[in-house]
């Protein structure tokens, strides 16, 4: 035990004390910026505001290149011979998104001798090895708040889809069938149901505000209790004990970041404690769930329905078991990449790049790693 404590203390010193400093403030001269986004193919030209794809590159290519910077954009991010890997050794800035994450591992960080800044176009930076980034003196930042409305709205939609047993009805229409009983036997009203959110940051609070008019019993579990005025606005009650809250819930919504503490949070044992027939919505991160435990729960009926847009890994392979389990309403990772959200996170990335080139700080809420310190939600 003493040895474990000493190792932990040494690791903490390595992150917060003995940092190899890489100054955030850009030195004079052109910079190499690498962006990792999903390809839009024929859809790229269908909407001029579709900026979050490879083809439209956040709408900042002309601006960057007019200042003499090199801007490489790719969707090829996996394996030792991928395009991202080729550019890591001399990149100064890497931009990626949660929707098509470029995984910035400790090994990649070691190779990135020029790297100073890692930007997330969106929110959620768990695709970066954050302790390794902190130890290397890198700055990690994201566009906090850019897509919280988008995700909260999507969560509300998924709750209704599951509660009303919508997808079987849609599939009947597509298949030329008509069987009201095959839908109605497990369709319910949302009014009067107990809904609990695991994590109650910006997205969780927005979801609770949107659920309040439905007349639900609203609960939340978080490391920080809301102030009384905000609790009153949301109509939600704080639950300090996670498992005690979960046992009360007809619907569970996952809104916590992916950290070492939350990885696999919903394992077989925790899922067994949930109400039989519980509905789960997870737009947070796929790795918060034990993949097979969710499959088993859906197959047995203990989980009455599961919906979300997050998987592990991403993109999800064709044989991912969540594609084939019953009573699921899964999609690709889309909730936070609406056109409105893309415009917001593209503007946020440009603003932070401008600050970087000028040697100015970012808004404090955007920092995930700064001067060796991780943001509180990732500690």
Is 314 part of the annotated catalytic residue set? yes
Residue 22 placed within a domain: no
Same domain for 280 and 152?
yes
Residue 178 placed within a domain: yes
Domain endpoint, select from 330, 346, 361: 330
Same domain for 151 and 134?
no
- For residue 267, count other CB atoms closer than 10 A to its CB: 13
Residue 305 Cα distances to 187, 210, 216, 222, 276, angstroms: 11, 21, 18, 24, 11
Q: Which CATH number fits the domain that encloses residue 212?
A: 3.40.50.720
Residue 16 placed within a domain: no
Same domain for 193 and 297?
yes
Residue 18 placed within a domain: no
Torsions phi, psi for 278 (to 5 deg): -60, 145
- Calpha distance 25→34 (Å, rounded): 18
Is 147 part of the annotated catalytic residue set? yes
**What residue numbers does the annotated binding site for substrate cover?**
123, 147
- Which residues on neighbouring strands pair with residue 238, listed in sequence order? 220
Q: What is the pLDDT of residues 64-120, one digit of tens each?
A: 999 999 999 999 999 999 999 999 999 999 999 999 999 999 999 999 999 999 999
Q: What is the pLDDT of residues 17-56, one digit of tens each?
A: 444 556 655 667 899 999 999 999 999 999 999 999 999 9
Same domain for 346 and 266?
no
Same domain for 91 and 214?
no
Kindly report the average pLDDT of the chain as a whole number: 93
Same domain for 326 and 213?
yes
Residue 23 placed within a domain: no
Whether the model clears a pTM of 0.85, i.e. scores above it, the answer is yes
Is 233 part of the annotated catalytic residue set? no
List 285, 320, 344, 366, catalytic entry? 285
Domain count, the chain: 2
pLDDT at residue 50, rounded to an integer: 98
Same domain for 158 and 140?
no
Sheet strands side by side (includes 251-254): 236-238, 217-221, 194-198, 251-254, 278-282, 303-308, 328-330
List 87, 92, 108, 147, catalytic entry? 147
- The answer to whether the CB of 119 falls within 8 A of the CB of 141 is yes
- The answer to whether the CB of 301 falls within 8 A of the CB of 276 is yes
- Calpha distance 51→347 (Å, rounded): 10
Q: How many helices (H) and strands (E) does the chain have?
A: 14, 14
Q: Which domain holds residue 282?
A: 147-330
Instruction: Identify which has the larger pLDDT, 307 or 12.
Output: 307
Residue 317 placed within a domain: yes
Q: What is the pLDDT of residues 185-199, one digit of tens each?
A: 999 999 999 999 999
Is 285 part of the annotated catalytic residue set? yes
Residue 213 placed within a domain: yes
List 116, 314, 342, 355, catalytic entry? 314
């Amino acid at each position: 035990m003493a040895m474990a404590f000493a190792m932990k203390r040494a690791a903490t010193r390595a992150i917060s004390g003995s940092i190899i400093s890489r100054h955030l403030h850009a030195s004079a001269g052109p910079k190499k910026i690498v962006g990792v986004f999903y390809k839009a193919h024929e859809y790229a030209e269908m909407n001029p505001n579709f900026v979050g794809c490879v083809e439209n590159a956040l709408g900042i290519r002309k601006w960057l290149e007019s200042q003499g910077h090199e801007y490489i954009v790719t969707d090829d991010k996996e394996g030792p011979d991928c395009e991202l890997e080729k550019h890591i050794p001399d990149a100064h800035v890497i931009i990626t998104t949660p929707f098509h994450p470029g995984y910035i591992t400790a090994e990649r960080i070691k190779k990135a001798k020029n790297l100073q800044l890692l930007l997330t176009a969106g929110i959620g930076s768990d695709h970066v090895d954050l302790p390794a980034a902190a130890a290397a003196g890198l700055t990690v930042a994201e566009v906090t708040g850019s897509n919280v409305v988008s995700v909260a709205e999507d969560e509300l939609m998924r709750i209704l889809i599951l509660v009303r047993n919508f997808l079987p009805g849609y599939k009947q229409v597509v298949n030329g069938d008509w069987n009201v009983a095959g839908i109605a036997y497990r369709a319910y009203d949302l009014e009067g149901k107990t809904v609990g959110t695991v994590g109650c940051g910006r997205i969780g609070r927005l979801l609770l505000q949107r659920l309040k008019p439905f007349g639900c019993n609203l609960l939340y579990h978080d490391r920080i209790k809301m102030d009384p005025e905000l609790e009153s606005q949301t109509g939600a009650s704080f639950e300090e004990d996670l498992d005690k809250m979960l046992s009360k819930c007809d619907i569970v919504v996952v809104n916590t970041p992916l950290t070492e503490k939350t990885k696999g949070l919903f394992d077989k044992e925790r899922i067994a404690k949930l109400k039989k027939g519980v509905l789960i919505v997870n737009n947070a991160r796929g790795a918060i769930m034990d993949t097979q435990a969710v499959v088993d729960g859906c197959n047995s009926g203990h989980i009455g329905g599961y919906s979300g847009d997050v998987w592990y890994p991403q993109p999800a392979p064709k044989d991912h078991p969540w594609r084939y389990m019953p009573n699921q309403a899964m999609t690709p990772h889309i909730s936070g990449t609406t056109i409105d959200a893309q415009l917001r996170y593209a503007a946020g990335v440009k603003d932070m790049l401008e600050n970087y080139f000028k040697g100015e700080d970012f808004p404090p809420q955007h920092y995930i790693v700064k001067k060796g310190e991780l943001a509180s939600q990732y500690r």
